[in-house]
A and B are shown apart, each in its own frame.
Chain A
Amino acid sequence: MKAKELGRRRFLKEGAALAGLAVGEIRSASAQKLTPVETFETTKREIPPRFQPTARRLYGTPSPFETVKRQPKTPATIGWMTPLQDLTGVITPNGLHFEIGMPAVDIDPRQHRLLIHGLVDRPLVLTPEELKHLPSVTRIHFVECGGNGSPTGQAFMRNGGFMKNEGLTLIHTHGSTSCAEWTGVLLSTLLKEVGVRSGASWVTSESVDASKHARSIPMEKAMDDVMVAYGQNGEAIRPEQGYPMRLLVPGWDGNVNVKWLRQIRVADRPYETSGGKPETPGLKPDSKGRWWQYQLGPKSVITFPSIGQHLSSPGFYEIIGLAWSGGGAIRRVEVSTDGGRSWKDARLDEPVHRKAHTRFRFPWTWDGKETVIASRCTDERGDVQPSLEEFSKLWRVPLDYWLTAAGRTDYFNPINPWRITPEGRVRNALYPLPL
């Protein structure tokens, strides 16, 4: 009783102190009108009437006033993209994680089994329950579709592509990336358990899904940081993300992160059995590809203000954005608010995780004039996000290649500038387009 009273007193004291602090901050931001008295009264009541629960949900859902939803990238896409412009922090809520490919299947974990075989000493069958008994790790990683931001695609071009700004948001230009806290067993743990034979150099994983999606990764990556994951942001992986278990290949093309994992086959070569896509992530007009590349380059984008948004008036805004790299941790993000003439360092939200979305922030006062804003990032290996011009040189194509129907590629990571019009509208400035 005494302790309880003491606790309550401490709560009130701290509550009042916090209230004072909050008021100070709120006043400086002139956002709301709260008086210390109101705040104190709120903490003093045992259960304020307006907070009486009407219905307790067994599984909580967002406020009915929140209407954030995923959207397809194009009407023809089988897939739902993440509304990056509506997220805070670096974790993508499980219901908003992007999803491309075969529709989710509801797998009964009591029926599901994982087979590990091939060039191994002891082939193994594991139930999801048995997998969870093995030593596990929890890590924060992004998963990005290799085609995220790829300029066209034929179906998209038919609908106007990125030429058409109307109705486009960050969902369409960058939404095929999400970041979560994943829990699972390292693939290296499983491979040591089955005993990889000499000569084994590639690992092929296969899904249960209707297309039997399968991809191969080299042994050096398999033994590095790949995991067979069963947990996502503190709960079981969602069906859309591969329940009851999936492969997580940090920093590599989302396509190799095989969901609904049913089989791992160890071999002496890649089994080029990919679901409708060769082991050739890049496409080129001369029929040559960038073979055997899986790693996603450093990429960043300003999420506010971003395409489709509107600045209501000149004045102070915090520019915020996300940066990530398959090469490791983001070390630096620079922001330009003058069309790339000058760049200044943005502040990174700590801690910065390797191969994970990283939140950056940059203070900015908009003078109401037309301008172009952009971000570029550098990862721990010193790789810098390229401009579209630099990216095109790397791929040996002219700049306008990206505006043609054939002009798409995976691993598209150029700087994406946004144009702010005098009316405060935010338009895509990646290409030299009419406003």
Chain B
Amino acid sequence: MRCIHSHSNLLVPLMALVPLCGIAALAQGPTYNRGRTPSAEEIRVWNLILDPAGKELPPGSGTAQRGAAIYAQKCAACHGPDGAGGVGREGRDGPRLVGAKGTLQGLRGWRFATSLWDFINRAMPPMPPEMSMRQGGSLSADEVYAVTAFLLYRNGIIQEGDVLDAQSVPKVPMPNQDEGDRPHLREYPAAPLH
């Protein structure tokens, strides 16, 4: 009885509050106002993560022939001369990049060639963090296009003479492109595979 009474007492103030809450939700202002707002240019330099659609790819181009020379010079020490993976020396056991057909190892699990471009650009060859904080990896855009072309060629995904640039990288047909076109979560335990 007492409960009902208090409820009816509360009813009027609550009804008055509802429209106010609605307005607050629409405005969606920051609650705590900590930190600062970065400039658009600051975000552009800070952000190294590339859109998988390739809209942010920079000018430049490269082929597998050019990429082979860069790979030998700057990648083979960790990933092996033929891309089969490093030999396990401390800090020099880069993963397999070529081969492993029939598995998702190497590049074969990557759905987009843009991801490959992005990763080489951001991270390869790795540099100390204080240097890579702003720059990402240590290759020029042309070099990244060339190494990307070399690895895709060695995996049998493109031809040796194909030129990769901002227009062609997003169109490279990756082996698992169709997988997960509708990104959704698989809960544990998932149904048996395929």
A binds B: yes
**Which A positions have Cβ atoms within 8 angstroms of B?**
75-76, 78, 102-103, 105, 107, 115, 117, 121-127, 130-131, 133-135, 154-155, 192-195, 202, 204, 206, 208-214, 218, 220-221, 260, 262-263, 265, 267, 269-280, 282-297, 326-327, 383, 386, 393-396, 406, 411
CB of B59 within 8 Å of the partner chain: no
CB of B5 within 8 Å of the partner chain: no
In the bound complex, do residue A394 and residue B104 qualify as a contact, i.e. CB atoms below 8 Å apart? Answer: no
- Which residue of chain B has its CB nearest to the CB of A397? B193
Q: How would residues 89 to 113 of chain B score, 1 for a CB under 8 Å from any chain A CB and 0 otherwise?
A: 0110101000001111100111110
**What are 25 A-B contacts defined by CB distance under 8 Å?**
A122-B30, A126-B35, A131-B34, A193-B31, A204-B49, A206-B48, A208-B129, A208-B132, A210-B129, A211-B123, A212-B136, A263-B49, A269-B52, A272-B115, A280-B179, A283-B109, A287-B101, A289-B104, A289-B179, A290-B190, A292-B186, A297-B188, A297-B189, A395-B193, A406-B103
In the bound complex, do residue B43 and residue A275 qualify as a contact, i.e. CB atoms below 8 Å apart? Answer: no
Q: Which residues of A contact B90 (CB under 8 A)?
A: 78
CA distance A127 to B132 in the complex (A): 19
In the bound complex, do residue A285 and residue B88 qualify as a contact, i.e. CB atoms below 8 Å apart? Answer: no
Q: Which of B43, B102, B188 has the most CB of A within 10 A?
A: B188
Q: Which residues of B contact A206 (CB under 8 A)?
A: 48-49
With A134-B34, A155-B93 already in contact, the answer to whether A292 and B103 are too (CB < 8 A) is no
Q: Which residues of A contact B123 (CB under 8 A)?
A: 210-213, 275
Chain A nearest CB from B63 CB (Å) reads: 24
Q: Which residues of B contact A295 (CB under 8 A)?
A: 185, 187-188
CA distance A134 to B33 in the complex (A): 10
- Which residue of chain B has its CB nearest to the CB of A211? B123
- A75, A124, A396: which contacts B194 (Cβ < 8 A)? A396
In the bound complex, do residue B35 and residue A125 qualify as a contact, i.e. CB atoms below 8 Å apart? Answer: yes
CA distance A273 to B34 in the complex (A): 29
- A212, A277, A288: which contacts B132 (Cβ < 8 A)? A212
- B34, B46, B95, B193: which contacts A284 (Cβ < 8 A)? B193
- Which residue of chain B has its CB nearest to the CB of A293? B186
Q: Which residues of A contact B51 (CB under 8 A)?
A: 267, 271
Q: Which residues of A contact B8 (CB under 8 A)?
A: none
CB of B168 within 8 Å of the partner chain: no
CB of B126 within 8 Å of the partner chain: yes
Q: How would residues 172 to 185 of chain B score, 1 for a CB under 8 Å from any chain A CB and 0 otherwise?
A: 00011001100111
CB of B167 within 8 Å of the partner chain: no
- A154, A260, A269, A291: which contacts B179 (Cβ < 8 A)? A291
CA distance A124 to B183 in the complex (A): 27
Q: Which A-B residue pairs are the 9 nearest by beta carbons?
A: A76-B88, A210-B126, A278-B109, A293-B186, A291-B180, A212-B123, A126-B35, A212-B122, A130-B34
In the bound complex, do residue B127 and residue A287 qualify as a contact, i.e. CB atoms below 8 Å apart? Answer: no
Interface of A is mostly: loop
Count of inter-chain pairs, beta carbons less than 8 A = 203
- Which residue of chain B has its CB nearest to the CB of A218? B185
With A293-B186, A293-B188 already in contact, the answer to whether A279 and B129 are too (CB < 8 A) is no
Interface of B is mostly: loop
Chain A nearest CB from B46 CB (Å) reads: 5
In the bound complex, do residue A134 and residue B32 qualify as a contact, i.e. CB atoms below 8 Å apart? Answer: yes
Other contacts beyond A212-B137, A220-B185: 17, CB < 8 A: A78-B93, A115-B38, A115-B47, A117-B47, A193-B30, A210-B123, A212-B123, A272-B110, A272-B111, A275-B119, A291-B179, A292-B183, A293-B188, A294-B185, A295-B188, A297-B189, A327-B188
CB of B28 within 8 Å of the partner chain: yes
Q: Which residues of B contact A292 (CB under 8 A)?
A: 180, 183-186
Q: Which residues of A contact B52 (CB under 8 A)?
A: 269-273
In the bound complex, do residue A125 and residue B37 qualify as a contact, i.e. CB atoms below 8 Å apart? Answer: yes
CA distance A211 to B109 in the complex (A): 18
In the bound complex, do residue A193 and residue B32 qualify as a contact, i.e. CB atoms below 8 Å apart? Answer: yes
- Which residue of chain A has its CB nearest to the CB of B128? A210
Chain A nearest CB from B174 CB (Å) reads: 10
In the bound complex, do residue A270 and residue B183 qualify as a contact, i.e. CB atoms below 8 Å apart? Answer: yes
- A192, A202, A260: which contacts B183 (Cβ < 8 A)? A202
Q: Which residues of B contact A126 (CB under 8 A)?
A: 34-35
CA distance A271 to B119 in the complex (A): 11
With A193-B30, A210-B127, A218-B185 already in contact, the answer to whether A272 and B112 are too (CB < 8 A) is yes
Q: Which residues of B contact A406 (CB under 8 A)?
A: 103
CB of B192 within 8 Å of the partner chain: yes
Q: Which residues of B contact A285 (CB under 8 A)?
A: 102-103
CA distance A127 to B38 in the complex (A): 12
